[in-house]
A and B are shown apart, each in its own frame.
Chain A
Amino acid sequence: MKINKLFTALALGTLIFASCEKNEIEEMLPEEVMPEEVSKGAFENGILISGEGSGAGTGSVTFISEDFTVTDNLIYKDVNKTELGTFLQSMSFDNDRVFITVDNQNTITVANRFTFEKIGEISTGLEVPRYMTVVGNTGYVTNWGKGSFGDNIADDFIAVVDLNTLTVTSTINVAVGPERIIHRNGKLYVSHKGAFGTNNKVSVINVADGNVDKVITVKDNPDELFFNSDDELVVLSEGRTIFDANFTVIGNTLAGIATINPVTLEVASELIFAEGVHPSLMAIENDDIYYNIGNDVFSVKDDAVALATDKSITAEGFLYGLEVEGNFIYTLNASFSDLSKLNVYDATSSAKVQTVDAPIGASKIYFN
């Protein structure tokens, strides 16, 4: 537990309420007429941060209360007296459940998203699972399949999971290295970062029949993808460093933020980074796109025709996770030998307004 300065807590507390529709209504009601609400669990209102884990400790989840007064590390372990395993890649949610994907364990652990009590697990049919998206009662999980560093094997797939029985019911073969997956209007969008090597594709899959409708080529190593305020698909490609046979650096491919028309499924516009610049994180908030170059975080409007010239903030430490909520930029300073830090910055003043502990190898931020 960590007590922080009251004023920053209040400032942020209000902000988070504002970001959450249900609470927004409650906030505005006088206390005596506020409807009686049964708490769904200790972790109902707040931030969840997942950490990949390392030799220092396995993957874990930290809960931070929305007023920043409570920081609870290892919530899954505390509730269930067992570890999640290494490396915790990502989490996804349905109404009541959290799906915790641990790639090195080929396991998705299922728990109540508000109490973190374990419900079950999916431990067969996955091979280096990375991300999952939930469509109704079905989960779609990107899997790297076999392969090793620098050496891909074209067996990568999307596992289709029945979320009632927690079993993989079928698979969809896709191009090498599927990474992020989101869905919109009956379609799945998958970025192909390239797994153990490299790739430059975004797959579009029809949920109804599981067919790959379209494969869009983007810049190398696409990772984060979101829909913007105009319902267009935005994809961050990191670009890559090129080595010769002697492993000497001989060049770079360009990084870019591509905007894809959801109807034609063609790249409509693209913001290109200078050669040798490799952004690694992107977040979207309303009509702003946030991305990093090293420790600097920039923002541009989602219809911008050029990259930002001035940074919004400079994040502390090893910037490994990025989220934006309202006017606040949440960054993870990841440590793999110790607890990490969540640092929250005011985008306007660039000032750091909060610092709290985050899990070992902290990489993802979720608002629960």
Chain B
Amino acid sequence: MKIYIIIILLAFGCVYNTFSQKDSLKIILKEVTIVADKSFKENSKGYKVISLTDSILTKNIESFSGLIRFNAPIYIREFGAGGTSSASFRGTSSSNTAVVWNGININSVNNGQTGFNSLTVSLFDNIDVRSGGGSIEYGSGAVGGTVHLNDALTFKNTPIVTNQFITSVGSYSTYNNLYKLKYSGEKLALKIGASYNQSENDYPLLGTNFRNTNGEYSNIGLNGGFSYKLSEYSELNLFTTSYLGERFFSGELPNPSSANDKYQDINNRTLITYHRKKGQVTNEVKAAFLTEEYRFFDDKTLASFNFGKSKRYIGNYKFKYRFANINASVSSLSEYESVFGKTDQIIERNRRQFSQSLIFSHQVNNLLFYDVKLRKDFNSDYTVPLTYALGIKVKPFSLISFRANTSKNYRVPTYNDLFWPGQGNLNLRPETALQAELGVVYTKNRLKIDVAGFYIDARDKIVWTPNGDPLRPGIWTPVNFSKAINKGIEVLLQYKYSIGKHIIDFNSNYSYTNAKNAATNTFLIFVPKHLLNASLGYSYKKVSAFYQHLYTGKTYTTESNSEDFIVPSFIVGNLGGDYILLKNQQKQLSIGFKINNIFNQLYFTQPSRPLQNRNYNFNINYKF
């Protein structure tokens, strides 16, 4: 069992910080944090992971897309602020990004993606962003990388109840509210959270006389967690979350007032895990039930809508044996999943899948670690290739370590791809991608530099195209199409410096991506070559300030890379600050502000859909 103990956390450069409250570190001597996905850390040794902790989440409470855009090496394409939003790693497509909730891939059965504006920032305790393939652990769609939404529960030898209340008010009638209650006992840990967000979102569209029209949204999220220590060796955990969101899809220029679409999301997810570790043997049983539903109203004034629904049942058993004498372990992961999906156009279909993974990991000595992972899926709808991953970590010098990994990953066709009436294609093959990564990490005191080169060879990409099927002329059908080669470099720079009570904190991600269609030798659309984000924080006693910066390079929108159809590069900056009004062992009250897009730049990631101009946010954060 992987437990997070303070000492590990205090080690510099630890990117797996799952604590939500850094300030509490000093006072508590013994605590153990439970996360649902206990395998994540041990399976990520050869990978690059960026952890977004509570303090970062709080600074970006108003938008999940904004959180990721300013803090992770991911390109976010947003159809107007608050609208449809998708994410891509390393030049792969948005359906090659898996979103993982407490260890479970939650990408939609219908379209294979997760909308980044139908996720709430604030309810999760931490978010990990892992670059690189992860189909072995997270299945279909984990090709470019994975975004992990984690709940954390904490056992403490002295029981304690903590409350947290955050409320924020922003421009365009934007309100974000969050309440979290946590109980940390010796044997029992509990967590309840609720959030409510709403916005009129009618920001002026820079350079025009229009405002963002029909862009309002509201959503409610509920979150619960429970963990009970059955014995010294075992515990029982329950995680549950519900989300109900309503968004209107704003109109595009030149006449945004014509928009009248409405979209609703209703998601429920429940996960129960039993975990037992005694001696060299670990057993873990998981059961999960997930439902998702969307309703699309082509006209908000009408009652009729298009919909998609799914129910997923997942059973999962993990067995791990540790060879103490050689410091190695072998794990077996068996999973059965049954999905019932339907839309207004597709009758309910049941897809069943059994997958078996084997993982062998070996810490040879202080110098060398490696792991070997294999997975085979048996799917009722099609054949999924054998997938594998190899990872190596070498630390030949005290300050420098190397990591390398290679893996084969896949994405299965969605229900829409297969079954859309008159258009689906039952002969589709899963997309596959071979990839390799080589990274160097330099850590000294509070400086960390991580440089990684990646190479992805993606095949059989599923693309909808007219005349895709010669037997159905003029009909749009999905086909296995292109081969793409993505190459690039990712650089991460983290630095923390303090003199007395002055603390400076700097984080930056830069990525260079050269992603090309191998057949046409043209750049893939909507992939910026350069992407840079950086944040600089400064704090002195009770006052802190931060600046977030984003540069996104030009992207092409046509396959031939016509200069007539591009999304221009842009720079956006946010400035914020906090002041701690009250702080003692029981309570902390702080107020903060944030100016988003401080330079008031016109920018967009989808043509004709400008994102927000300069806007303001004021927040109160109370923990007691």
**Residues from chain A with Cβ under 8 Å of B421 in the complex:** 243, 247-249
Minimum CB–CB distance for A236 against chain B, Å = 14
**CA of A57 to CA of B422 in the docked complex: distance in angstroms?**
27
Partner of B467, one of A58, A147, A317: A317
Q: Which of A246, A337, A338 has the most CB of B within 10 A?
A: A338
Partner of A334, one of B306, B344, B466, B562: B466
Minimum CB–CB distance for B552 against chain A, Å = 18
Answer whether residue B284 sits at the interface, using C-beta atoms and an 8 A cutoff.
Answer: no
**Residues from chain A with Cβ under 8 Å of B500 in the complex:** none
**Residues from chain A with Cβ under 8 Å of B608 in the complex:** 58, 83, 85-86
Partner of B252, one of A82, A85, A146, A319: A85
**Residues from chain B with Cβ under 8 Å of A123 in the complex:** 255, 257-258
Answer whether residue A153 sits at the interface, using C-beta atoms and an 8 A cutoff.
Answer: yes
Answer whether residue A106 sits at the interface, using C-beta atoms and an 8 A cutoff.
Answer: yes
**CA of A123 to CA of B421 in the docked complex: distance in angstroms?**
35
**Residues from chain A with Cβ under 8 Å of B305 in the complex:** 148
Indicate if the CB atoms of B254 and A85 lie closer than 8 Å.
Answer: yes
Indicate if the CB atoms of A318 and B467 lie closer than 8 Å.
Answer: yes
Which residues in window 125-181 of A have CB below 8 A to B?
146-151, 153
**CA of A320 to CA of B473 in the docked complex: distance in angstroms?**
11
Indicate if the CB atoms of A58 and B474 lie closer than 8 Å.
Answer: no
Which residues in window 390-429 of B have CB below 8 A to A?
419, 421-422
**Residues from chain A with Cβ under 8 Å of B258 in the complex:** 104-107, 123
Indicate if the CB atoms of A247 and B253 lie closer than 8 Å.
Answer: no
Indicate if the CB atoms of A149 and B254 lie closer than 8 Å.
Answer: no
Answer whether residue A336 sits at the interface, using C-beta atoms and an 8 A cutoff.
Answer: yes
- A residues contacting the other copy or chain, number (CB 8 A): 46
Indicate if the CB atoms of B299 and A74 lie closer than 8 Å.
Answer: no
Provided the pairs A84-B254, A148-B299, A153-B302 are in contact, do residues A243 and B473 lie with their beta carbons within 8 angstroms?
no
Answer whether residue B160 sits at the interface, using C-beta atoms and an 8 A cutoff.
Answer: no
Answer whether residue A73 sits at the interface, using C-beta atoms and an 8 A cutoff.
Answer: yes
Answer whether residue B525 sits at the interface, using C-beta atoms and an 8 A cutoff.
Answer: yes
**Residues from chain B with Cβ under 8 Å of A151 in the complex:** 304
**Residues from chain A with Cβ under 8 Å of B306 in the complex:** 148-149
Decide if the interface of chain B is mainly helix, strand, loop or mixed: loop
Indicate if the CB atoms of A147 and B254 lie closer than 8 Å.
Answer: no
Answer whether residue B60 sits at the interface, using C-beta atoms and an 8 A cutoff.
Answer: no
Partner of B558, one of A56, A146, A148, A295: A56
Indicate if the CB atoms of B299 and A83 lie closer than 8 Å.
Answer: no
Which residues in window 144-176 of B have CB below 8 A to A?
none
Answer whether residue A360 sits at the interface, using C-beta atoms and an 8 A cutoff.
Answer: yes
Provided the pairs A84-B254, A106-B255, A334-B466 are in contact, do residues A146 and B562 lie with their beta carbons within 8 angstroms?
no
Answer whether residue B21 sits at the interface, using C-beta atoms and an 8 A cutoff.
Answer: no
Partner of B565, one of A148, A318, A360: A360
Indicate if the CB atoms of A85 and B253 lie closer than 8 Å.
Answer: yes
Q: A-facing mask of B496-509, CB < 8 A → 1, else 0?
A: 00000000000000
Minimum CB–CB distance for A311 against chain B, Å = 13
Partner of B474, one of A106, A147, A243, A319: A319
**Residues from chain A with Cβ under 8 Å of B422 in the complex:** 241, 243, 249
**CA of A247 to CA of B346 in the docked complex: distance in angstroms?**
7
Provided the pairs A57-B557, A147-B299 are in contact, do residues A318 and B474 lie with their beta carbons within 8 angstroms?
yes
Partner of A338, one of B299, B302, B466, B558: B558
**CA of A146 to CA of B419 in the docked complex: distance in angstroms?**
27
Decide if the interface of chain A is mainly helix, strand, loop or mixed: loop
Indicate if the CB atoms of B301 and A337 lie closer than 8 Å.
Answer: no
**Residues from chain A with Cβ under 8 Å of B465 in the complex:** 337
Answer whether residue B56 sits at the interface, using C-beta atoms and an 8 A cutoff.
Answer: no
Indicate if the CB atoms of B254 and A247 lie closer than 8 Å.
Answer: no
Answer whether residue B111 sits at the interface, using C-beta atoms and an 8 A cutoff.
Answer: no
Indicate if the CB atoms of B565 and A57 lie closer than 8 Å.
Answer: yes
Indicate if the CB atoms of B255 and A338 lie closer than 8 Å.
Answer: no
Answer whether residue A339 sits at the interface, using C-beta atoms and an 8 A cutoff.
Answer: yes
Answer whether residue B347 sits at the interface, using C-beta atoms and an 8 A cutoff.
Answer: yes
Partner of B345, one of A82, A247, A337: A247
Answer whether residue A55 sits at the interface, using C-beta atoms and an 8 A cutoff.
Answer: yes
Indicate if the CB atoms of B467 and A105 lie closer than 8 Å.
Answer: no
Indicate if the CB atoms of B255 and A318 lie closer than 8 Å.
Answer: no
Minimum CB–CB distance for A297 against chain B, Å = 12
Indicate if the CB atoms of A294 and B254 lie closer than 8 Å.
Answer: no
Indicate if the CB atoms of A294 and B473 lie closer than 8 Å.
Answer: yes
**Residues from chain A with Cβ under 8 Å of B301 in the complex:** 146
**CA of A147 to CA of B301 in the docked complex: distance in angstroms?**
10
Indicate if the CB atoms of A146 and B302 lie closer than 8 Å.
Answer: yes
Nearest-CB residue, chain B, relative to A124: B257
Provided the pairs A58-B608, A146-B302, A241-B422 are in contact, do residues A338 and B559 lie with their beta carbons within 8 angstroms?
yes
**Residues from chain B with Cβ under 8 Å of A146 in the complex:** 299, 301-302
Answer whether residue B606 sits at the interface, using C-beta atoms and an 8 A cutoff.
Answer: yes
Nearest-CB residue, chain B, relative to A149: B306
**Residues from chain A with Cβ under 8 Å of B564 in the complex:** 57, 73-74
Partner of B473, one of A246, A295, A336, A338: A295
Partner of A294, one of B474, B560, B565: B474
Nearest-CB residue, chain A, relative to B343: A247
Indicate if the CB atoms of B347 and A337 lie closer than 8 Å.
Answer: no
Answer whether residue B13 sits at the interface, using C-beta atoms and an 8 A cutoff.
Answer: no
**Residues from chain A with Cβ under 8 Å of B346 in the complex:** 247
Indicate if the CB atoms of A56 and B253 lie closer than 8 Å.
Answer: no
**CA of A123 to CA of B213 in the docked complex: distance in angstroms?**
15
Partner of A57, one of B304, B473, B474, B558: B558
Knowing that A85-B608, A247-B346 are A-B contacts, what are 19 other residue pairs whose CB atoms are under 8 Å apart, sorted by A's residue number?
A57-B564, A58-B252, A74-B564, A83-B607, A84-B254, A85-B254, A85-B255, A123-B257, A147-B299, A149-B306, A151-B304, A245-B347, A295-B473, A318-B467, A320-B466, A320-B474, A338-B558, A338-B560, A339-B560
Task: Offer 24 A-B interface pairs, CB within 8 angstroms, sorted by A.
Answer: A57-B607, A58-B607, A83-B253, A85-B255, A85-B608, A107-B254, A121-B255, A123-B255, A123-B257, A123-B258, A146-B299, A148-B297, A148-B302, A148-B304, A149-B298, A150-B345, A247-B345, A248-B421, A294-B474, A318-B467, A319-B473, A334-B466, A338-B558, A338-B562
Nearest 10 Cβ contacts at the A-B interface: A148-B298, A294-B473, A247-B421, A106-B258, A57-B565, A318-B466, A105-B255, A338-B558, A246-B347, A56-B557
